[in-house]
Amino acid sequence: MSKWPLLLALLAAGAQDARQIVEESQKRHRSQSQQYDGVLQVFNPNGKNSEKRWQFFRSGNYGDSKALLRFVNPPEVKGVALLIVNHPERASDQWMWLPELQRDRRVALQDRSTRFFGTDFSYEDLEERDVSQSDFRLLGEETLDGHACWKIESTPKKGKFSQYGRVVSWMRKDIYFPVQYEMYVKEQMVRRLQYRRIERVNNVWSALEMEMFDLRRKGRTVLRTEKLQYNIPLKDELFTLQALRRGE
């Protein structure tokens, strides 16, 4: 008897397990809305750092959410805003509002590998994607910072756009919470995102600090969340182009 059917069955089972883990994680950490004040420290390769602050609002959930992010500091970028409309079946739509020009500007798909306003996050890193847009593979189990984790690889499904050829994530087994991502372009790791200070806020596990390393630029950005709240009432009309222009 050929061994291939058994191997394929095992691979299929592995793929299903990884997907189930990610689905379970998204299910457990679901919240109807989120709001926080973000404090970003951007470190240049030469060690110089600058601070930026934004306010973040999200309504809805993975793949079907809308988010608004508005800079409040430093003064030169105050009022600059990004509206993200995530879709379950495709990449998000993104628009940026530039108060200096009094104009909104659509952020094209192919431009989303660019750094977002001088931080080490790219525009794509600010999206929330539905599990249906990626294929998953369980690479094994590892311990990270004393926590047992699943190591899961995700690759964009055929026809789905991403700057990353694959993303490897570490998911804590005890709370189904991701603690680290490594993003690859071809075989080169280009970014690493680490989640820290993981706490329960309004009954939702949350990382109060995230650090994104840009390994090509050799820079890093630390994002600290303050005044984090979940499941607060946020009107749909906050997440429209008109609201972006009104500066809300």
Partner 1 sequence: MKPLLPLLLAAALAGQAYQQRGYLDLRTTLFPQDGFNDNGHVIADALFRYEASAKLTPWFKLNGAIDARSDTHRQTERSARFDWQDRGFLRPAFSFRRFSATLHKGPVTIELGKQFIRWGKADILNPIDRFAPKDFLNVVDNEFLGVLAARLTIEKGSHTFDLVMQPRFTPSRTPLLNQRWVIWPAALQTPVPVVQGAPDLPGGVQSGARWNYLGKGYEMSLAFYEGHNHLPQVDARLIPGRVELFNRFAQMRMYGGAGAVPLPWFTVKAEGGYFTSTSRSADNYVLYVVQAERTIGEWTLVGGYSGEHVTASKTQFDFAPDRGLARAFIGRASYAIGTDRTVSGEAAIRQNGQGAWVKGEYTQTLSTHWQARASFTLIRGGADDFIGQYRRNSHAILGMRYNF
The two tokens of residue 12 are 């299929």
- 181: number of Cβ within 10 Å: 20
CB of 62 to partner 1, least distance (A): 20
CB of 188 to partner 1, least distance (A): 14
β pairing state of 219-230 and 93-98: unpaired
CB of 83 to partner 1, least distance (A): 11
Nearest CB to partner 1, comparing residues 92 and 169: 92
Contact between 51 and 74 under an 8 Å Cβ cutoff? The reply is: yes
CB of 92 to partner 1, least distance (A): 11
| Whole-angstrom distance, CA of residue 185 vs CA of residue 124 | 13
> Which residues of this chain interact with partner 1, rule CB under 8 A?
42, 44, 46, 48, 50-51, 73-76, 78-79, 90, 93, 99, 101-103, 106, 108-111, 114-115, 118, 219, 237, 240-242, 246-248
Nearest CB to partner 1, comparing residues 111 and 199: 111
Q: Which DSSP symbol is given to 107?
A: -
Nearest CB to partner 1, comparing residues 29 and 115: 115
For residue 234, give the amino acid letter.
L
Nearest CB to partner 1, comparing residues 20 and 50: 50
- 74: number of Cβ within 10 Å: 11
